[in-house]
Chain A
Amino acid sequence: DQQVKQNSPSLSVQEGRISILNCDYTNSMFDYFLWYKKYPAEGPTFLISISSIKDKNEDGRFTVFLNKSAKHLSLHIVPSQPGDSAVYFCAARNYGQNFVFGPGTRLSVLP
């Protein structure tokens, strides 16, 4: 039972354009949602988070949007840079307990 889904295994975007990565969840008990970035041969790196009581959080080029009624969140990267090429994991925290990760989306930013 996949509680956190990332239905696009991969995404290609031109440098300078917007990257939009999507994530859907099924569990209404999640209190925090997070995005992690992972480069090959490294562990995931925390990118940005959003509380379940908010609908938007922005940090520089990265913005996360949360639509609770649709159980959907998205990560926007503007403008996209070649260094953003990585695997992006959506994750959710189960009210202070365990974390559930999605399968990841591989983003390729083309120069």
Chain B
Amino acid sequence: DSGVTQTPKHLITATGQRVTLRCSPRSGDLSVYWYQQSLDQGLQFLIQYYNGEERAKGNILERFSAQQFPDLHSELNLSSLELGDSALYFCASSVDHSSYEQYFGPGTRLTVT
């Protein structure tokens, strides 16, 4: 158990809808990362937050947004969902923005039908 929690575990929704994925980092970790893993592909970095502020941005679509709250939990919002958004979404946390060691949650499997 990495100490990172993600909810929900599974999510099935229709095209055009909007969903929110939630992540609670390990106790004491200030940095949160979001990744997308599509079928048989590596993890694609989406975005990083550090202590409530956006720190780095990867290949995140404009339809997606994220935020980190004062209690350090983070939410990833996906809107106008398309079939191609079906994937595993992982959250990871690290002690600070410069740490290279990340601790991953179990992921949220999103299925768009």
Enumerate chain A residues within 8 angstroms of B90, measured Cβ to Cβ.
Answer: 43-44
Q: For the A-B complex with A45-B104, A98-B45 known, give 11 more contacts whose Cβ atoms are closer than 8 Å.
A: A34-B100, A34-B101, A42-B106, A43-B90, A44-B104, A96-B97, A96-B98, A97-B56, A98-B56, A99-B45, A103-B40
A-contact 0/1 string along B37-75, CB 8 Å cutoff: 000111111001000000011100000000000000000
B32 within 8 A of A: no
A4 within 8 A of B: yes
B102 within 8 A of A: yes
B110 CB to nearest chain A CB (Å): 15
A32 to B57 alpha-carbon distance, docked (Å): 18
B-contact 0/1 string along A82-97, CB 8 Å cutoff: 0000000101010011
A29 within 8 A of B: no
Q: Number of residue pairs across A and B with beta carbons under 8 Å? A: 53
Closest chain B residue to A31, Cβ basis: B100
> A98-B48, A98-B56 are known contacts. Are A46 and B101 too (CB-CB below 8 A)?
yes
Would you list which residues of chain B between 81 and 113 have a CB under 8 Å from chain A? 90, 92, 97-98, 100-107
> A41-B106, A43-B106, A49-B101 are known contacts. Are A101 and B56 too (CB-CB below 8 A)?
no
Q: Is the CB of A43 within 8 A of B2?
A: yes
A97 to B105 alpha-carbon distance, docked (Å): 20
A100 within 8 A of B: yes
Partner of A101, one of B42, B101, B107: B42
Q: Is the CB of B102 within 8 A of A103?
A: no
B4 within 8 A of A: yes
Q: Is the CB of B4 within 8 A of A43?
A: yes
A6 to B43 alpha-carbon distance, docked (Å): 13
A105 CB to nearest chain B CB (Å): 11
Would you list which residues of chain A between 43 and 99 have a CB under 8 Å from chain B? 43-46, 49, 89, 91, 93, 96-99
Q: Is the CB of B107 within 8 A of A43?
A: yes
Chosen A-B contacts, 7 in total, with CB atoms closer than 8 Å, are: A41-B106, A43-B105, A43-B107, A91-B43, A96-B98, A98-B48, A99-B33
